[in-house]
Copies of this chain bind each other. A is one copy, B any other.
């Protein structure tokens, strides 16, 4: 039941093995300031190593929004990369260096969710724009409420400043036709459409229902061998980025160490005796 508070993120362990990360700025529809995305790796790197945690649920505080995207006020501060002063851009090459450093940092913070060794279940609800989609495609599973409204906003902002979506969305869903359409028009799409194309795993009527389902799946995953669960996540993400031959070699090399675990006899015994297995921490 330990709870750790970051500014605008609440992290708790509501149930054995399951952490809950709540984006907590509901008065601003959970819009992200720079401080907030800089906090993401602090949250997820810690959970990645925390042996008390086997699965993570990520949701937004309040009913209105998972996140309304970047906080425009914070982005519009003169001198930021989105609103440079004339002197900032007087030398294009020097501004570009500054921008690249900013972009790599931003991308790396969002990628910390994917890099986290434990599976992450993202519960989307209500307004889910821009960075909400960037974040969600770094998660492993996505569950949403029927009133979720998604949008990839690049073409409405004037620059396709990708921090995650344009790189990952085509590899999450199967229809490239659909990806191109929602990215080139910035049109809003809803839960049913997200389910049909395979972006989300399931839809629930309201946030409570979605959270309950996330807890249910999280509990299922938490009951399984953590050695096998974390290797499975690791392999699927590796294989997305490599060819079959490189994938097969990597998994065999990885398992040369992982096979030698008590989880195997524990799992085998549980299968025989029909008793729920108890696996060691990882």
**Residues 131-175 of A contacting B (Cβ, < 8 Å):** 140-142, 154-162, 164, 166-168, 170-175
Q: A13 near B: Cβ within 8 Å?
A: no
Report A212 CB to chain B, min CB distance, Å: 16
- In the complex the two chains form, is A262's CB within 8 Å of B225's CB? no
Contact A167 to B260, CB < 8 A, known contacts A156-B267, A158-B227, A174-B175: no
Q: A247 near B: Cβ within 8 Å?
A: yes
- In the complex the two chains form, is A96's CB within 8 Å of B258's CB? yes
Contact A236 to B93, CB < 8 A, known contacts A156-B267, A221-B184, A267-B156: no
A268–B83 CA distance with the chains assembled, in angstroms: 11
A254–B170 CA distance with the chains assembled, in angstroms: 19
Report A130 CB to chain B, min CB distance, Å: 12
- In the complex the two chains form, is B241's CB within 8 Å of A184's CB? no
- In the complex the two chains form, is A94's CB within 8 Å of B261's CB? yes
- Residues of A contacting B: mostly: helix
CB neighbours (8 Å) of A170 from chain B are 236, 239-240
**Residues 168-187 of A contacting B (Cβ, < 8 Å):** 168, 170-181, 183-187
Q: Which of B142, B178, B185 contacts A217 (CB 8 A)?
A: B185
Which of the candidate stretches A25-33, A56-64, A194-202 sits at the interface with the other chain?
A: A194-202
Return 12 A-B CB contacts under 8 Å, by A number: A90-B262, A91-B262, A93-B260, A97-B230, A155-B221, A160-B228, A160-B231, A160-B235, A162-B252, A167-B247, A178-B201, A185-B221
| 8 closest residue pairs by CB, A with B | A174-B174, A175-B198, A92-B260, A93-B261, A257-B257, A158-B263, A96-B257, A96-B256
